[in-house]
Amino acid sequence: MSEHDQDEDEAFAETALIQAIENQLEAGEPPAALATLNKLTLVGYERDEILQMMALVLAHEVKAMLREDRAFDGDAYEQSLRALPALPDETA
């Protein structure tokens, strides 16, 4: 795979993750998504920056699912959202 293809794949993945976050916010599920957006907005983060952080949290949970061959852990995901702006530990 060329570097260009990898960059395109990463951009596509980020776009898909941010769209998933937008869908969660619109649906109000999980409740932590909107709570996190509101909290981070109040402390001065821009919406785009917040969406990127939330997308990183979602990506972290998806990677953990694949690595550990398990179902999506909604509780862990919500805890990680509520911990923002601290990002999940990639070594976990």
Q: How confident is the model at residue 8 (pLDDT cuts 50, 70, 90)?
A: confident
Give CB contacts under 8 A, 24+ apart, made by 64-68: 64/92
What pLDDT, on a 0 to 100 scale, did the predictor assign at position 92?
Answer: 44
User: From CA 38, how far away is CA 60, in angstroms rounded?
Assistant: 21
User: From CA 57, how far away is CA 89, in angstroms rounded?
Assistant: 10
User: From CA 60, how far away is CA 56, in angstroms rounded?
Assistant: 6
Please report, to the nearest 10 degrees, the dihedral formed by the alpha carbons of residues 7, 12, 18, 21 taken in order: -130
Crossing angle of helices 47-68 and 74-83, rounded to 10° = 150
User: Where are the chain's structural domains?
Assistant: 3-83
Q: Is the pLDDT of residue 49 over 60?
A: yes
52-92 per-position pLDDT tens digit: 999 999 999 999 999 999 999 999 999 999 999 999 886 44
Q: Is the pLDDT of residue 46 over 60?
A: yes
Higher pLDDT, 36 or 5: 36
User: From CA 6, how far away is CA 37, in angstroms rounded?
Assistant: 30
Higher pLDDT, 8 or 76: 76
What pLDDT, on a 0 to 100 scale, did the predictor assign at position 90?
Answer: 61
In this prediction the pTM is 0.87
